[in-house]
């Protein structure tokens, strides 16, 4: 399907509800953009909620580490979101580098990720789907948060949210146990999992399903107790009879061996069972691991 005013160059991606094209405005072939095209089904509600959410949230956000939504083009049977074009995503970058990023690059990407997340949280937006595929990396090494289809604005007091968010490998344990009163800490767990993956090249907790995901988390961080995770027993899906095997925590140095002590300290601060104990993005940016980055 054509997009008024734009020439498509090539298809660069396909998501659940959209096809993404590399394109340029007809009047300016030198300007690249990425166009997310959605077919609208007139028999149903028309525009998918994910697209509505992404449009309304991105129109209010403006930050160097967040992808730019240039414009929205629509007609009766399609909707096109025109974004800035960014060459790669973090998953592709890891694969291209044989899963070994130089540690100074890991630090730069992590700092930029936290900058983008801190800005979202300041603007009362939870991303809720942070993962390497949703972090775009430009040719000159700028990281940008993308895919705000699951994001939402959060107000005070804590409303009840859905817990069907965050791709499983980056999903915090409280969400797996059905927590719906969450806040910015949901994104911080994902940041921790991404941090470890940037260093090792492999997902930290690649669970096959929710019970397997929990066990993989426990294998690294130890099986939680009411002392290490006080709010655990109040989680909707917590079941005392589930009988989790008792596993001691591993030394993070053995799990992420290339990371220095300051990096390990930062990682541990984000991967806390208790949501309120997770370091905020703003606090993480001040961590000594990033000294010299400010």
Give the Cβ contact number of residue 173 at 10 Å. Answer: 24
Edge to edge, what strands does the sheet with 88-89 contain? 88-89, 135-137, 143-145
131 has binding-site annotation: no
Cα 62 to the center of its chain, rounded Å: 17
Size of the chain, expressed as the number of residues it contains? 294
Residue carrying the six token digits 């208790």? 274
Burial 221-230 (b: 16+ CB within 10 A, else e): bebbeeeebe
Indicate the helix (H) or strand (E) that contains 133: none
Whether omega for the bond prior to residue 247 falls within 30 degrees of 0, making it cis, is no
Give 34's strand partners. Answer: 22, 83
Assign 78 to helix, strand or coil: strand
Residues 6+ apart with CB under 8 A from 82: 3, 6, 23, 33, 34, 35, 69, 70, 71, 72, 73
Lookup: tokens for 293: 């980055």
Strand-pair partners of 120 = none
What three-state secondary structure class fits 204? coil
Residues marked as catalytic:
129
- Which residues does the annotation place in the binding site? 36
- Which residues does the annotation place in the binding site for ATP? 36
């Amino acid at each position: 399907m054509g997009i008024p005013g734009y020439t498509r160059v090539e298809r660069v991606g396909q998501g659940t509800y959209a096809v993404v094209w590399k394109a340029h405005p007809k009047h300016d072939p030198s300007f690249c953009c990425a166009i997310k095209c959605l077919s609208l089904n007139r028999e149903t509600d028309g525009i998918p909620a994910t697209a509505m959410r992404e449009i309304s949230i991105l129109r209010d956000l403006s930050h160097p580490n967040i992808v730019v939504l240039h414009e929205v083009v629509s007609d009766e049977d399609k909707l096109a979101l025109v974004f800035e074009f960014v060459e790669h995503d973090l998953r592709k970058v890891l694969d291209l580098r044989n899963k070994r990023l130089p540690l100074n690059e890991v630090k730069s990407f992590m700092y930029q990720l936290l900058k983008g997340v801190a800005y979202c949280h300041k603007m009362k937006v939870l991303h809720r789907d942070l993962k390497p595929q949703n972090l775009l990396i430009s040719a000159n090494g700028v990281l940008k948060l993308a895919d705000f289809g699951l994001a939402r604005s959060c107000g005070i007091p804590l409303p009840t949210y859905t817990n069907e968010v965050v791709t499983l490998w980056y999903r915090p344990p409280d969400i797996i146990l059905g927590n719906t009163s969450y806040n910015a800490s949901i994104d911080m767990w994902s940041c921790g999992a991404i941090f470890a993956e940037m260093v090792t090249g492999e997902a930290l907790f690649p669970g096959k399903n929710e019970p397997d995901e929990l066990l993989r988390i426990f294998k690294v961080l130890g099986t939680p107790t009411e002392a290490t995770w006080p709010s655990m027993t109040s989680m909707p899906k917590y079941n005392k009879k589930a009988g989790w095997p008792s596993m001691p925590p591993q030394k993070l140095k053995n799990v992420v061996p290339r990371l220095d002590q300051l990096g390990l300290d930062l990682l541990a601060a984000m991967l806390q069972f208790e949501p309120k104990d997770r370091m905020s993005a703003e606090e993480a940016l001040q961590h000594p691991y990033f000294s010299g980055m400010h």
